[in-house]
């Protein structure tokens, strides 16, 4: 499992790694940023939808990872420079 930040990918850029599934969240409005999670094919997972991004201050992608009878949450997040402070209340909503 690989977690990436600052991927610099955009929607029209095709990105793949042989033998891996990739879940990604690209920055939409300007260059840079972006986060991704790369999992070896065969690992069971589902993408987490609608993760709280602290009012646009974080770039976030997450998955539910299924290993045997166990379920784990794996989240990759990035706070871009200049995005401002994130309050304790916002972090509480995130987790």
Phi and psi angles of residue 28, each rounded to the nearest 5 degrees, phi first: -95, -40
Per-residue pLDDT tens over the stretch 15-28: 899 999 999 998 88
Q: pLDDT tens, 37-49?
A: 999 999 999 999 8
Q: How far apart are CA 69 and CA 63, in angstroms?
A: 16
β partners of residue 74: 63
Mean pLDDT of the chain: 88
């Amino acid at each position: 499992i690989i977690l990436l930040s600052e991927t610099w990918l955009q929607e029209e850029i095709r990105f793949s790694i042989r033998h891996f599934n990739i879940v990604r969240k690209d920055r939409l409005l300007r260059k840079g940023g972006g986060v991704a999670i790369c999992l070896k094919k065969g690992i069971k997972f589902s993408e987490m939808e609608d993760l709280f991004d602290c009012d646009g201050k974080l770039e976030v992608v997450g998955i539910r990872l299924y290993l045997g009878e166990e379920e784990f949450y794996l989240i990759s997040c990035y706070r871009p420079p200049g995005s401002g402070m994130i309050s304790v209340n916002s972090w509480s909503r995130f987790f």
